[in-house]
Structure 1
């Protein structure tokens, strides 16, 4: 299969995808109601897109093309309201969060669609363990070489995106000690991690052709990279975030990514080289394990710095770009989250400490999603 031509898209437009939990309203375990929710939604009009995911207890919402933070907020609110209304009709709940707190992977059902069945056949039990919930953000790029450059420059900010969205401390009833345990499930898949550093699109096409020639890869969806090109959309897709507990936080994180991308595209503060990736896995792990309390290593200076401090310094650096994008309000709200260490993983842990019951945590996640 040949790689699709890189489509034209306006620079720095963006789109947001969120994978969400469907739970019953008795014990708040996951429930395989995606097909029913989609059936109810098919009769209603709303902005954006809703589609199934790999297991029947998941559903994905996606905005259309957004230019500014307010566009994302409006579209995500509309999608949330439509989804919550459909869920109420079926007496099920919808929740954010990167993992369900106590579900058992072996009880999941693969959604009845050819691609999902093929993935289940290939990956075995890993497919059911992929009942995890992420936020993806697409950033429009005017040309393929610029897309690859942006992809690799953004890679040093992967710990920021993980820490800001981390919302998966619990797995199968246990506090994992991680802020984002979700990404540990992604690591198990071949072709996960970072994209290869190639110089231009022609070189990337040759790499893709070599991979398809091996029979290992049939299309871009077979790459589970942290950031990957999406040539059919003319975007790069940032894929490391947990699904936040609210659409507001999801829109703020998207606005932060857009603002960092503008700074990188306009000012071109550095050009990525292979040695920049020497600390990539360490920085990524620190963000997953400790969230904003983790430490990142600067690949050039070798300075060790708390992730929260690095995020705040970056927000200062990109402030004018956020203003130009009308995203400065979103970044002000995120700044307070960072200063107060008020992330979603912290909220979930504090709630569990108070309630001592994970079903009650999930119930309140559903309430938080509606707000």
Structure 2
């Protein structure tokens, strides 16, 4: 891949996952298939079901422009919200369900899904969790792996920045991102190992297959991985954000950090050797305290305010953001995020007004169904 000093950056794309809820009770319901069928009339292959019948996934086409990316995200949210409303349903953008009903979710059926249920068993009881996946185009798998080594250092910060799952099954977890605490329970999930080469990666994956820890390549659930289906590095650590601009903000930053890392890889730097135990502790701290707490800097082993760490990481990305024409958008979105607080903060604020959990569901559903208005207010 050429150096990204000017012009459009590598192409990128985003996947967002949502929960389907009943408009009256606000509880999750296994009606995703109906929403997908209606939304597909407008979105085609950009909308699909997920592993459980409670979830809908949308995706963007590969684009160079972050402005085009956010437009596609807003469109997809608008379409799925209207499709849901036609059947007395709503969709919410939250890493976990607010109200009880997501435990032991109905899993979609098929040979692959059935193998997953047989393999992972009780882990599937907490599978109805929703993430944001960002894809950045790479020239080959080895480059994606080595770029991923560099991106590992940003993962705890991304957890804090996108924390949007404070509630689980009708209770406040005490965490900003409870989804982050659920997901690494799978045998091949959470922070990825550091890989020296594609051969090293394939050797590790072969051993995991031999151990029966994966069903297929799609169940290599690490938070950074070379995509199974696309020529990209895929960053999967984030809770699905409340708004489309937040998802676009994460994507823009990930692309800029990946381009910075790619240049380092071309220069022979295969990435820092971050101890797995330090990265795990950093995840826990970021998931607990979110954007308003402290994050563990995995390059120094020291705690620092999350907002300060984010400001430094954005400054590092800024030369590429400027060259891609994304700097102004990112700056505006970031200011709005810092003013509004994380998704977890906003969910709790919605509940605090009356002490009623359904108010968090209504807030989240409105943020999806009124995607254009939310986008405009987020720009303001």
With structure 1 as the length reference, what TM-score do the two structures score? 0.90
Q: In 2 relative to 1, CA 114–289 (structure 1 residues): closer, same or farther, beyond 3 Å?
A: same
Give how far 1:194 is off. 2.6
Give how far 1:340 is off. 3.2
Is 1:198 aligned to 2:195, yes or no?
A: yes
Q: In 2 relative to 1, CA 211–122 (structure 1 residues): closer, same or farther, beyond 3 Å?
A: closer
CA distance in 1, matches of 2:264, 2:206: 33
Q: In the alignment, is the contact (CA less than 8 A) between 1:12 and 1:261 conserved in 2?
A: no
Give how far 1:354 is off. 0.3
Q: In the alignment, is the contact (CA less than 8 A) between 2:147 and 2:270 conserved in 1?
A: no
Q: In the alignment, is the contact (CA less than 8 A) between 1:48 and 1:75 conserved in 2?
A: no
CA distance in 1, matches of 2:325, 2:275: 31
Partner residue, 2:325: 326
Partner residue, 1:55: 52
Partner residue, 1:33: 31
Q: In the alignment, is the contact (CA less than 8 A) between 1:47 and 1:75 conserved in 2?
A: no
Q: How does 1:1-371 map to 2 (within 5 A)?
A: 12-42=10-40, 44-46=41-43, 49-106=46-103, 108-266=105-263, 271-337=270-336, 339-340=338-339, 342-371=341-370
- 1:14-45 Cα deviation digits (max 9, x unpaired): 11111101111111101111111222234x13
- 1:215-237 Cα deviation digits (max 9, x unpaired): 44343222221111115411111
Q: In the alignment, is the contact (CA less than 8 A) between 2:165 and 2:239 conserved in 1?
A: yes
My pick for the range that moved more, 15-24 or 182-191, is 182-191
Partner residue, 1:3: none
Matched residue SS, 1:90: coil
CA distance in 2, matches of 1:96, 1:210: 36
Partner residue, 2:376: none
My pick for the range that moved more, 331-340 or 25-34, is 331-340
CA distance in 2, matches of 1:57, 1:302: 39
CA distance in 2, matches of 1:354, 1:309: 29
Q: In the alignment, is the contact (CA less than 8 A) between 2:347 and 2:363 conserved in 1?
A: no
CA distance in 1, matches of 2:237, 2:27: 25
- 1:160-198 Cα deviation digits (max 9, x unpaired): 211121110011111111000012111221112232322
Give how far 1:282 is off. 1.5
CA distance in 2, matches of 1:175, 1:52: 28
Question: Which consecutive residues of structure 1, in runs of 5 or more, have no partner in the other structure?
Answer: 1-9
With structure 2 as the length reference, what TM-score do the two structures score? 0.88
Give how far 1:106 is off. 4.3
Q: In 2 relative to 1, CA 339–34 (structure 1 residues): closer, same or farther, beyond 3 Å?
A: closer
Instruction: Count the aligned residue pairs.
Output: 361
CA distance in 2, matches of 1:217, 1:171: 26
- Give the root-mean-square deviation of aligned CA atoms: 2.2
